[in-house]
Structure 1
C-alpha cells in the first residue's frame, strides 16, 4: 500500500505518506501477531490481520492484548522466559495501539481540514452548473477518495450524472455507458435507506450487501463504498458514491464521516447558490423594467416637446413628412435629437451615442426613430444624405 499514492500535489503527497504510514503499522501488527502465535503455540486461533481494512487493526490489537494477558495468567511462575516474552508483546501491542489511534486521529483531522478547504473554494463559484461540475473533483482531490460519482434522484430511481476518477481512463471504460441510466431504488438498497434517514451509508462488503450489482460491482468493480445524500430544502435530490478503487483498501467509518461532512456542506452551498441565482434573475428583470420605464418617460417628454412644436406649424410639418420626395432639415429637430443626429453623422453607434449623451440605448433608438420620421427617411444613411442635400 505504500506505493499506491498517485497524486503529485501537496495533498496527494500527504495522502501517499498516510498510506505508507498505514502500511508500516499493519506490517508491525502482522509481525506481532506471528510472535504471539509462536509464543502461544500452534493450537491457538488468533484474529486475522486485514490488509484491505486497516481501520479494524485496532480491534485485532485489542484481541491480541487480551489473549496475551489471559495466557500470562495461566503461565506457571517457574516459566519466567514465557512470562517475559508475553509481557514484552503486551507492551509492544499497547504501543502499536497508541500509534494506530494517533495515526487514525491525525488522518481524519487532516482529511476534514482538506474537506473544509474544498468547500471554501466551492463557495466562490457563482452558478449551480459550475458548482456541480467540480463537486466530484473536489471529493477526490480533497477528501482522500480515488473516485466519486454524482447522481440525480428522480422519483423512485437514481441516475448517474457525472464523476471524477483518479485514473481518467476509467470514465471512458465503463461510466459513460451509465450516464443518465435509470436505476430503481430497491427497498433494501443502501441508497433507499438514506432517502428517509438522510445519513450516509457505509457498504463494507458489496458481495454481501443488497447493492445494484450491474453498475456497482459488475461495471464499477467496487468491493466497498460510501454513499451520502445531497439535500435541497426538504428533499434528497442526489447521491454521491465514493470509494478507493483501484486500491485494495476498503472504505471505513472515517470515509463515511468525511464524505458526510462534504455532502452536508455542499448541500448548503448548493441551496445558497440556487437562491443567489434567483436573486440575480430578479435583479436583472427589475433592472430591465426600470430601464424600459425610463426610456418610456424620455420618449414621453420628447413627444411633449414635439407636439408643442407641431401645434405651431402642424400643417407645414405634415406636408414635409408626407410629401413624396420631401425631406426635413435639422431645424425640425429638438435639442436632444440634434445632439443625437450630430453623432449619427459622425458615424457613432447607438451604444456610443448613449454613452456620450449619458442616456439609455433605448432612448437613443427612440430619438433615431423620431429623426427618421421628421426627415421622411427610410434609414440613417438616407436621413444623413437628405440633411446634407438640404444644407
Structure 2
C-alpha cells in the first residue's frame, strides 16, 4: 500500500490524545507569552521594538522569553528612583517571564521524553513483524502514530536519485492524488539539497523554512505544500538505502530540533530492525532449501534400498519358480516392527489407505509413507500386498 490514512481509531488512540494534549498546552503557553509581551510593550512604551511571538514555532518561545527578560532588566537600570510603579511593574513582569521560561522548559522536556517513549514502543511492535514487505508497509504509520507527526513519506535511494515510495497521512484531505502521482518518480539529488547532505553525513536534516532552502520544490512545496520538514536516513549495512520525510502539515506548526531527534531515533532503530529481518528471511530460505535437499536425499536412498531388495527377490524367484511363496528365511516379521510401524501395518492389513491411516493415527500422510517403506524393507516385500500375504501366512 503506497498511501495510507489514519483511521478514527488511530485519532482516538492514547498516542493521539497525548499529541492533542501537547498542542493544547503549546497554545496555552504561547498565549501567555503574547500577553506578557504586550504587557512589557505597554510598560516601556510603544516605540520600543520587541521580539515577535511565533505561533508556528513554539520551540522559539524560550528565546523570546529570554530576550524579554533581558530587556526588562536593562530597562530597570534606567528607571528613575522616584518611578517606583514602573520599577515594580518591570520586576513583576520579569518574575512572570521567568516562571513561563520554567514552564516552557518542563513542557519541552516532557514532550520530548514522551515522544521518544512512544517511538520505542513503535519500534518494539516492528520487531515482531516477520518479513520486510510487511515491515515497510507499516513503518510510515508508526512514525505518524507514535512520533507526533502529521504525515510521513518513505523514499528509496538509488545512485544519485531518490524515488517516493510509501506514505501515511493523518487526515483524509491529505490523501489526494498529489502523492500518488509522484510514486516511483525519479528525483535528482542536488548536491546543495538537504537530502544529498544526508547521504554524505548519514545524519538527519532539519529544514525550518522551505522558502529559504535548496529543496526540490515540485514535490515538497508545490505538490506537498510543506513549509518545514525533517528528513532522516535509513541505512542497510554501510549504505543509505532510503530516507523518511516528516512534517506537521496541514498544521502551521514548523518542525524543530525535537522533531529531528525523534525521527532520527526512529529511523536508526528501524534500520537495525530492517537489516535483522532481511537476515532472518535469508536464513529461513536457506533452512527450507536444506530441508528440501534432505527430503530428496532420503527418498533417493529409500529408492536405492528398495531397488536392491527387488533385484535380489527377483533373482531368488527365478531359481525357485516351483517353490510356494513363503516369507524368505532371514527376513523380518511383525515382531521386528516398532510400535508405530505395527500400528500402521495393522491398518494396512485392514485395507486402509495412506490418508485413512494418517487420519486414524493423527500423523501426516508423508509420515505414513515413510513407515510403509520401512515396513516393506523389514519384510523384504516388493509391495503392500506381498507384505500382508507373508505376514498372514506366517501367522
- Name 2:24's counterpart in structure 1: 20
Deviation at 1:361, TM superposition (A): 7.8
Counterpart pick for 2:171 among 154, 167, 171: 167
Deviation at 1:42, TM superposition (A): 1.1
Q: Compared with structure 1, are the counterparts of its residues 153 and 345 closer, same or farther at alpha carbon in structure 2 (3 Å cutoff)?
A: farther
Matched, 1:281 2:285: yes
Q: TM-score, normalized by length of structure 2?
A: 0.83
**CA–CA distance in 1 between the matches of 2:349 and 2:83?**
111
- Name 2:118's counterpart in structure 1: 114
Deviation at 1:295, TM superposition (A): 1.5
Deviation at 1:45, TM superposition (A): 0.3
Which structure's relative contact order is higher, taking Cα pairs within 8 Å and 6+ residues apart? 2
RMSD: 3.3
Q: Compared with structure 1, are the counterparts of its residues 309 and 250 closer, same or farther at alpha carbon in structure 2 (3 Å cutoff)?
A: same
Counterpart pick for 2:109 among 98, 105, 109: 105
- Name 1:187's counterpart in structure 2: 191
1:174 counterpart SS class: helix
Contact 1:350 1:361 in 2 (8 A): no
Q: TM-score, normalized by length of structure 1?
A: 0.83
Q: Compared with structure 1, are the counterparts of its residues 93 and 273 closer, same or farther at alpha carbon in structure 2 (3 Å cutoff)?
A: same
**CA–CA distance in 2 between the matches of 1:278 and 1:182?**
29
Counterpart pick for 1:270 among 266, 270, 274: 274
- Name 1:370's counterpart in structure 2: none
- Name 1:303's counterpart in structure 2: 307
Unaligned runs of 5+ in 2: 1-9, 334-340, 375-381, 390-395
* Larger displacement relative to structure 2 (86-95 or 159-168): 159-168
- Name 1:205's counterpart in structure 2: 209
Deviations 1:233-275 (A, max 9, x none): 0000001000001111000000000000000000000001111
Contact 2:354 2:368 in 1 (8 A): no
Count, aligned residues:
360
Deviations 1:34-62 (A, max 9, x none): 00000111110001000000000000000
Deviations 1:198-240 (A, max 9, x none): 0000000001111111110011000000000000000000010
Contact 1:292 1:362 in 2 (8 A): no
Q: Compared with structure 1, are the counterparts of its residues 366 and 219 closer, same or farther at alpha carbon in structure 2 (3 Å cutoff)?
A: farther
Deviation at 1:169, TM superposition (A): 4.0
Matched, 1:225 2:218: no
- Name 1:245's counterpart in structure 2: 249
Deviation at 1:7, TM superposition (A): 2.2
- Name 1:136's counterpart in structure 2: 140
Deviation at 1:355, TM superposition (A): 7.2
Q: Compared with structure 1, are the counterparts of its residues 292 and 192 closer, same or farther at alpha carbon in structure 2 (3 Å cutoff)?
A: same
Deviations 1:96-126 (A, max 9, x none): 0000000000000000000000000100111
1:226 counterpart SS class: strand
1:126 counterpart SS class: coil
- Name 2:128's counterpart in structure 1: 124
Q: Compared with structure 1, are the counterparts of its residues 351 and 64 closer, same or farther at alpha carbon in structure 2 (3 Å cutoff)?
A: farther
2:152 counterpart SS class: strand
2:82 counterpart SS class: coil
Contact 1:119 1:266 in 2 (8 A): yes
Contact 1:350 1:364 in 2 (8 A): no
**CA–CA distance in 1 between the matches of 2:103 and 2:349?**
80
2:181 counterpart SS class: helix
**CA–CA distance in 2 between the matches of 1:200 and 1:35?**
39
Unaligned runs of 5+ in 1: 1-5, 318-328, 368-373, 376-382
Counterpart pick for 1:152 among 152, 156, 159: 156
